[in-house]
């Protein structure tokens, strides 16, 4: 299940379990539309094993609109030395574009960029898929009223397992948006498609050879021995050049991938630092404002103390309102407190038997009415003061 995938990860037999777990958590943090699940995976030879799979959707941005492509990423046990296996998993109301340059009719994903290096990771793989699908979406919605979109012309290229391209990650607009429907396919049909696709992969992952390599595969007893020797030498030279070119391309690709990873991490750190700096500057301004207000109040208090240090302070006049409304509130609160004391005294007098119950009820009713009026007036004045402050701000 999605909740206990970390507990099931140990039984899958991953070579680098810690790296797989860390990168999957990073993907789940950045792409909420993908969910992990441990499920059975069938290889083309019929063998079955449990693999950690990311199911859900990746967002794309196509012709000014946002779409969500349902995908499935199966993480191999040799990860990251071996690339994940990617599939486009259309829902019942979706169809795969026939002749798409990166996705075949069974949903297997291929890229023209053939090499997966150890520096690659799941985040950059998702970026590569989103960028590629943003150029040409692999699926379309099948409806009776909708005309089938034109097919893409298949470009001749060697098919390799999906991997992240050399191109820089898409920055604007950000293609990461909402989610789409989940994968629904029958297991038996899915296994058959996988077997056929993996057989094609094994056939297509042979080293690229020059077209003339197979011209002289068998010896001709009537051919010139010198010509045969010359052709053999040319064939060996072509094979050596092809091997050397692939090795150099692999080394350069690894370096480019490493630099792209560094650039991606540096940009993330830059955004984090900029966000932290802005928050600290905002907090600094708030603290400076508070310090200035405290200094002003401190100066005012010290001035009052120095002016009234040797004066006799009238207790009744020590506390006074700043304006008419404040003075009125003080008077009303004082009257309210006086009535509260009077009610307490009446209660004690009734308890001691110094007044009768009729007198007690009459006085309580009169004082309670006055107390309610004082409190209502206080509440009304406070509302007026709040409205005045709001208008001044």
Model pLDDT for residues 105-155, shown as the tens digit of each residue: 888 888 654 456 656 788 888 888 888 889 889 998 876 544 454 444 444
Is-above-0.85 flag for pTM? no
At 190 the pLDDT is: 59
Q: Label residue 217 exposed, middle or buried (CB < 10 Å: 0-12, 13-18, 19+).
A: exposed
| Tokens 């990251």 belong to residue | 80
Q: Within 10 A of 60 (CB to CB), how many other CB atoms are there?
A: 24
> 114 to each of 158, 240, 243, 338, how far by Cα in Å?
8, 20, 15, 90
Taking 50 as the threshold, does the pLDDT of residue 166 lie above it?
no
Higher pLDDT residue, 166 or 388? Answer: 388
At 112 the pLDDT is: 53
At 207 the pLDDT is: 42
Model pLDDT for residues 14-71, shown as the tens digit of each residue: 888 888 899 999 899 888 899 999 998 888 777 888 999 999 999 998 888 889 999 9
Measured in whole angstroms, how far is the alpha carbon of residue 237 from the centre of its chain?
51
Range among 86-95, 111-120, 220-229 rated most confident: 86-95
Average pLDDT value for the chain: 78
Q: Rounded to a whole number, what is the distance in angstroms from the first to the last CA of the chain? A: 56
Q: How many contiguous H segments (helices) and E segments (strands) does the chain have?
A: 8, 8
Taking 50 as the threshold, does the pLDDT of residue 209 lie above it?
no
| Tokens 């590569």 belong to residue | 128
Contact between 118 and 257 (Cβ < 8 Å): no
At 13 the pLDDT is: 87
C-alpha 47/C-alpha 114 separation (Å) is 25
At 340 the pLDDT is: 94
Model pLDDT for residues 350-375, shown as the tens digit of each residue: 999 899 999 999 999 999 999 999 99
| 355: enclosing H helix or E strand | none
At 155 the pLDDT is: 42
């Amino acid at each position: 299940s999605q909740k206990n995938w970390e507990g099931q990860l140990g039984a899958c037999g991953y070579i680098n379990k810690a790296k797989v777990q860390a990168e999957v958590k990073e993907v789940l943090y950045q792409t909420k539309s993908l969910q992990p699940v441990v499920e059975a995976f069938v290889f083309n030879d019929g063998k079955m094993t449990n693999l950690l799979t990311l199911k859900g959707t990746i967002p794309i941005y196509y012709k000014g609109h946002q779409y969500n492509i349902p995908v499935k990423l199966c993480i191999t046990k040799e990860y990251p030395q071996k690339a994940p296996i990617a599939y486009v998993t259309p829902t019942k109301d979706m169809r795969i574009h026939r002749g798409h340059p990166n996705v075949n009719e069974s949903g297997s994903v291929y890229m023209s960029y053939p090499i997966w290096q150890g520096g690659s990771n799941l985040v950059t793989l998702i970026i590569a898929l989103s960028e590629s699908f943003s150029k040409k979406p692999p699926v379309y919605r099948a409806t009776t009223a909708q005309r089938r979109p034109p097919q893409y012309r298949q470009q001749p290229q060697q098919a390799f397992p999906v991997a992240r391209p050399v191109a820089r990650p898409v920055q604007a607009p950000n293609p990461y948006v909402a989610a789409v429907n989940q994968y629904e396919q029958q297991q038996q049909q899915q296994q058959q498609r996988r077997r056929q696709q993996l057989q094609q992969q094994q056939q297509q992952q042979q080293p690229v050879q020059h077209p003339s390599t197979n011209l002289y595969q068998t010896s001709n007893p009537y051919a010139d021995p010198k010509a045969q020797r010359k052709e053999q030498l040319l064939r060996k030279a072509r094979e050596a050049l092809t091997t050397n070119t692939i090795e150099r391309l692999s080394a350069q690709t690894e370096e480019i991938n490493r630099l792209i990873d560094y650039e991606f991490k540096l940009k993330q750190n830059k955004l984090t630092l900029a966000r932290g700096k802005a928050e600290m500057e905002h907090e600094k301004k708030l603290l400076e404002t508070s310090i200035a207000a405290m200094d002003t109040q401190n100066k005012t208090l010290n001035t009052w103390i120095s002016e009234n240090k040797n004066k006799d302070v009238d207790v009744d006049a020590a506390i006074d309102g700043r304006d008419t409304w404040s003075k009125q509130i003080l008077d009303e609160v004082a009257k309210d407190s006086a009535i509260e004391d009077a009610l307490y005294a009446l209660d004690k007098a009734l308890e001691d038997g110094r007044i009768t119950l009729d007198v007690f009820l009459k006085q309580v009713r009169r004082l309670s009415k006055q107390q309610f009026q004082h409190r209502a007036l206080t509440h009304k004045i406070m509302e007026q003061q709040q409205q005045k402050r709001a208008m001044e701000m």
